[in-house]
Structure 1
């Protein structure tokens, strides 16, 4: 018998989906307002609708989590604050955040509002989870890429609530790390507007289109690990999808907790879910995948369906004959009368089954335009009539709230009606009505009273226990009883709603305030000379390193900092002698950590091993940021800071540690204020360089502007090594680079970023080399008009931002 029972967390893109989730047994729902949510194109909720949603959910003991899991600008914090005030007072159960600035803002202004870190924060290790906990999070949402073993490790070592995606659509990129939609068409996933370019064709098929996840069969393992919340994706799906998924996971979790879980039942329920929505069949995601075998073709095939990116339905058979306006096929599943089928021709042909068909039955059904249908064409069921009717019944008969009712009718006294929650008798309401009169005829009986008071129609309540205390020979108008019943139930609901609310203990927001008293409107450098210029160069392999040496020797470049990927050292691509070459004696060396750390290495161990070779570190993910802070803490005693103890004195936080607003900048700079380090923040590729979107930088923070390089559009674990480029068929070819240390793939933009025309507007410039060969590296530093003219570049969002 299991004791841990995770909550079932349902998506609610609109009020219909919320009601379906409640009816199906959800323990909690996540939803968004019209701003700040990662699904801008879902139905979402107005301010009033959000309050209604909290009211309805709390009435049914269902929690409500608000998604504000996008990156926001300084100018938007006032709107965020004003949106949160009434929700905070109404008892909103938590907010879900991606932005470190928002996390710090909520913790400061709404101190009793729980914070959940979004999967877009990309936390994969216990160190990352502990960091989030230390900074105010009560729960982390695990990255979809995590295995059961990795989830178990966080639960065992971090002592924080853990939420895991178990069903629905999957991003091919690590959530929060994707810039593809932003750079390809100006719709930023980090701003809630992803256009899903991953569902487009590349190299002639859908190389990036992930299957949907279904993990019903893994419920025992997820429960045993201690996962606190099983999350269903789908805020853009309809109420039938929500009801079907919630009811399936709810029932099977209950089965396992009660000791009667059945793998066969899980398989049957998975088939039901396929009928509601799937993309070429389900995948169990990464739960059981060996990440040391990343880039394996078999692994990629289990995750990605290259044939079709949209909803396909359930395969029911293949055309064996076309004759006389009918198609003949052998059914591979039972088909119901009224089921809608789709014959997968170039222009799909839709038909409806006129009768029940049994599995293995050879059947002929009428079809329009049979001239377009060929033998061996696949047939799919796109609507299961029986299942749809079953779900409609579930949705239209929502679960009721159980209450007890006592009616007291004493001659000469006022009518007295008391109602209380059956599971919480201490929460009750007593209301009084008209005076009870002596009956002239037809006195009220207990049966009549019960009939009038317990029939609640479409109310959210039902009467579990009814008690009447009444004199004989009394009369009360039926209208008075109904009015009193309505008043009592409304007040009971309001009492519960108010009991879950909060006092107005939030702190005031001032438009003239800043997140840091030491903030300056300067460009972020701590060097104030007008002509100050610093050059940073990143290389990814030995050939590029040799080109950089040549450029320095030829005086084509004066480099101040050189970044070297950790993989170059770990895989023996370069030696310490290569790094200490005399031609680079005046260049500071920076060790660039990977985009992802799944526990493959320890930041502390890497710094101890290579620290004497490097002057700084370049951090690309929250997990390594947490590891670096842990490293610094181990070197300092309280109230004692000695630079002699620091192996690495320069910290550079990458664009992927989003410093998208002044609150995030202040938060990040505050992490290192006691460690005596020189701190750089790399500008986000989505922020305008002309104004930096009004971000304010503390005087000790140095802003780096990438001015050349292929922008990393995706970081993914789903692709295999057979791919080296992806061609969209419209003139763009994207390049891939694989990491053997942390087992991921980076997909780079088809065109390099080039801000050579804007270099004078920035003081600290970064050149980022990824796939360039020796000659291409040298060509970049020539910056000749011919080179610029003969190559395709992008300026990204430098001028307009997102």
Structure 2
């Protein structure tokens, strides 16, 4: 008996889980000791998680476990042994970001439901359809979606939708943020976000001579655009949707998700309590009787106030009113009365379930106790009971019915209470109190087992005799090993140098880029992505550049034919880079220009969002794809699973930017692209810095964020698709890492140019061509970073 609406509560600890249940949550989401996106929460160990699963099931609720981080190659083997106990205990679902994890669960735990995490950045019906086609039973939508976008996803796919309704909002699209990762090594994709967006930043303007959209009459200035107490331009107010709950539910959202696994049990209880109140009000009275008491809004602010509340993106695409801007007050008056009430009523409460009982205590007959429980989740009745010793004949006064009821009714620290206990007596019965207690204890233990039994699962057949590693059986392992290209003598170990000769493994020979200059065979293709025509002009002039990628946010459809022709005339391939985020505005743009896309002659598309992959399939565009690094493939299973999504399409993958050289070697880097130069986006956001500090100009430009350590981060507002990209303060450069790159043997070295001038573009290209193709090492002047190529992430 499925509920019409689900209130889904955060549980960062066992106590928070209990508080959520007490306050009326229908389900909780919780992380275990590994693979969860809140590594710093009080996540339970295996024993605690198993206890939590049993606890929610005894109370007719559900538990979804977060396995929503990206998983490295050498961690995949741990998944089976990690998940198995929870699977057997009846875990209700797993929330997943990593496609390798997704694939692994579908294979080894096929009846364990998978929810596609908000970290997957699902923003449209195409992405939702893709995930459900691959086996997801629920989509957790991106927080930036409007009510209309959610409604369309539901209408076009019918998928079960989970959306955030309360709590913290990330400034960046979830799953696309590398800010914390690149500046401090704490990856949000690995559950260790340092919340860099909550820090103060100065917003600066500089004249970008290379930007053709810049107003040339504008004075050069480096002045701060957000002076005084308005530095928190990346810190968003907390979401609160009580006022629009009917709209959210009628848009097709089934599960109302509350954020807050890092917050207290009191916070969890207080927020769940109020959402329970208003969901029930709507279910009972509909829109007509739905009104929100202002006192309840204030109560939510008393629980946590970062600087006000917002309806988030449900009703507007972005806006200054969503942004905190000002520093959080150092002192806030506590609502002690509210805190004490929540602690007493929910946090410290022991939730008990109603049970019907029938006891028969008749002289000369066995003592009997029967218990009946109705599962609130399924509506099914569960029966249990026991038979004790023969009831004795009272020597003096027989035991009264009232005394028997009182003794049997002491449910103590069990999770039950008697809603009704009927006792039938006969003759002159006498039963020692100890026997009554033992019968009651035994009956409730049996009832607990009976309640939990339907949730439990057996070990999956395909792994019943397994080793706990990532292979189904020895034959499968041997087959996988035999499919690896080359013999053991041919394989190149990451610890060995590669000789730059034609005597290479077969897999690498077919990808050679012939460079006739210097009579040396080049091991790599050089591909270049550009954002401005001046950069394109330089790339066209370099013979060693094999392909040019045009960013669709900057190169308009009206000139696609011209740009492609110019690339082909220069004997170079031309690929179109799709948007980082594919929402309604992007879809409308590409539908409008579909004929241009299909006739321009592009040699490939660079895919950055799941919606784009599905759209290519729907439109039946036969064109090679380059899957960008934001289509995360931290392990080989992830890459294989993405290929399964569209087996009819040719794909080449870009290596993840959060893996170090050793980890890249472990997941195999051959026949793939490696980003070796460029300003890596640390955030892609629906918000607009320009709009926040000065208002919308409808004109693409660069602004700059300066942090407390005087590091400066370029920000580009890309108006065509209405998003902001914040770039790292220093460009990535792996120019000095040729030896390590030679070991990896990527097919393509990609250089990504963003704000560079024509002169800078030429200087960088010259250095990479000479170093990697002509074996003439060149150094670049300036401040660069090696990103994660050396250090990786935890």
TM-score in same-fold range (> 0.5): yes
User: What pairs up with 1:270-281 in 2 under 5 angstroms?
Assistant: 270-281=297-308
Measure the CA separation in 2 of the matches of 1:571 and 1:615.
15
User: What pairs up with 1:550-569 in 2 under 5 angstroms?
Assistant: 550=541, 552=542, 555=543, 558-569=544-555
Contact 1:438-1:473 at 8 Å conserved across structures:
yes
> Which residue is 2:364 aligned to?
412
Change in Cα spacing, 1:281 to 1:439, as seen in structure 2 (3 Å) is: same
> Which residue is 1:358 aligned to?
none
> Which residue is 2:224 aligned to?
none
TM-aligned CA deviation for residue 394 of structure 1? 1.6
Change in Cα spacing, 1:758 to 1:559, as seen in structure 2 (3 Å) is: same
> Which residue is 1:725 aligned to?
704
Measure the CA separation in 1 of the matches of 2:509 and 2:637.
19
Contact 2:408-2:437 at 8 Å conserved across structures:
yes
CA RMSD, aligned part only?
2.4
Match of 1:394 among 338, 345, 359: 345
Structure 1 stretch 47-56 or stretch 769-778: which is displaced more? 769-778
Change in Cα spacing, 1:267 to 1:516, as seen in structure 2 (3 Å) is: farther
Residue 302 (str. 1) matches residue 315 (str. 2): no
Measure the CA separation in 1 of the matches of 2:374 and 2:96.
36
Match of 1:735 among 706, 714, 729: 714
Measure the CA separation in 1 of the matches of 2:37 and 2:59.
26
> Which residue is 2:82 aligned to?
83
Residue 207 (str. 1) matches residue 205 (str. 2): no
What SS does the corresponding residue of 2:553 show, helix, strand or coil? helix
User: What pairs up with 1:503-542 in 2 under 5 angstroms?
Assistant: 503-505=458-460, 507-508=462-463, 510-511=469-470, 518-520=483-485, 527=510, 531-542=522-533
User: What pairs up with 1:248-259 in 2 under 5 angstroms?
Assistant: 248-259=274-285
Contact 1:604-1:627 at 8 Å conserved across structures:
no
> Which residue is 1:652 aligned to?
626
Task: Identify which of structures 1 and 2 has the higher relative contact order when contacts are C-alpha pairs closer than 8 Å and 6+ apart.
Answer: 2
Cα-to-partner distance string for 1:646-705 (whole Å, 9 max, x where unaligned)? 3x2x21000000011010111123334334x3x2111111012344151147xxx83101
Contact 2:374-2:382 at 8 Å conserved across structures:
no
TM-aligned CA deviation for residue 263 of structure 1? 5.6
Cα-to-partner distance string for 1:703-732 (whole Å, 9 max, x where unaligned)? 101110001110011223247110003131
Measure the CA separation in 2 of the matches of 1:144 and 1:8.
17
Q: Gaps spanning 5+ residues in structure 1: where? A: 313-343, 349-379, 636-645
Measure the CA separation in 2 of the matches of 1:691 and 1:198.
28
Contact 1:687-1:693 at 8 Å conserved across structures:
no
Contact 2:103-2:641 at 8 Å conserved across structures:
yes
What SS does the corresponding residue of 1:432 show, helix, strand or coil? strand
> Which residue is 2:661 aligned to?
689
TM-aligned CA deviation for residue 583 of structure 1? 7.9
Residue 546 (str. 1) matches residue 537 (str. 2): yes
Measure the CA separation in 2 of the matches of 1:71 and 1:425.
39
What SS does the corresponding residue of 1:568 show, helix, strand or coil? coil
User: What pairs up with 1:702-713 in 2 under 5 angstroms?
Assistant: 702-713=671-682
Structure 1 stretch 737-746 or stretch 134-143: which is displaced more? 737-746
Cα-to-partner distance string for 1:127-164 (whole Å, 9 max, x where unaligned)? 11010000000000010001111111111111110000
Cα-to-partner distance string for 1:209-234 (whole Å, 9 max, x where unaligned)? 11111101111111222311000001
Measure the CA separation in 2 of the matches of 1:410 and 1:772.
93
Match of 1:265 among 270, 292, 295: 292
> Which residue is 1:341 aligned to?
none
User: What pairs up with 1:176-187 in 2 under 5 angstroms?
Assistant: 176-187=175-186
User: What pairs up with 1:392-471 in 2 under 5 angstroms?
Assistant: 392-395=343-346, 396-422=348-374, 426-471=381-426
> Which residue is 2:5 aligned to?
6
What SS does the corresponding residue of 2:674 show, helix, strand or coil? strand
> Which residue is 1:282 aligned to?
309
Change in Cα spacing, 1:413 to 1:525, as seen in structure 2 (3 Å) is: farther
Structure 1 stretch 787-796 or stretch 445-454: which is displaced more? 787-796
User: What pairs up with 1:478-497 in 2 under 5 angstroms?
Assistant: 478-497=433-452
User: What pairs up with 1:525-674 in 2 under 5 angstroms?
Assistant: 527=510, 531-550=522-541, 552=542, 555=543, 558-570=544-556, 574=559, 576-581=561-566, 584-602=569-587, 606=593, 608-613=595-600, 614-632=602-620, 646=622, 648=623, 650-674=624-648
Measure the CA separation in 2 of the matches of 1:582 and 1:20.
62
Measure the CA separation in 2 of the matches of 1:384 and 1:466.
41
Q: Gaps spanning 5+ residues in structure 2: where? A: 203-226, 493-506, 513-520, 695-701, 772-776
Structure 1 stretch 209-218 or stretch 255-264: which is displaced more? 255-264
Contact 2:161-2:253 at 8 Å conserved across structures:
yes
> Which residue is 2:760 aligned to?
776
> Which residue is 2:217 aligned to?
none
> Which residue is 1:49 aligned to?
48
TM-aligned CA deviation for residue 270 of structure 1? 1.6
Cα-to-partner distance string for 1:180-233 (whole Å, 9 max, x where unaligned)? 111000111111111111111111722211111110111111122231100000
Contact 2:10-2:258 at 8 Å conserved across structures:
yes
Contact 2:281-2:290 at 8 Å conserved across structures:
no
User: What pairs up with 1:168-183 in 2 under 5 angstroms?
Assistant: 168-183=167-182
Measure the CA separation in 2 of the matches of 1:4 and 1:56.
19
> Which residue is 2:698 aligned to?
none
What SS does the corresponding residue of 2:163 show, helix, strand or coil? strand
Change in Cα spacing, 1:260 to 1:673, as seen in structure 2 (3 Å) is: closer
TM-aligned CA deviation for residue 434 of structure 1? 2.4
Measure the CA separation in 1 of the matches of 2:778 and 2:525.
23
Match of 1:385 among 319, 336, 341: 336
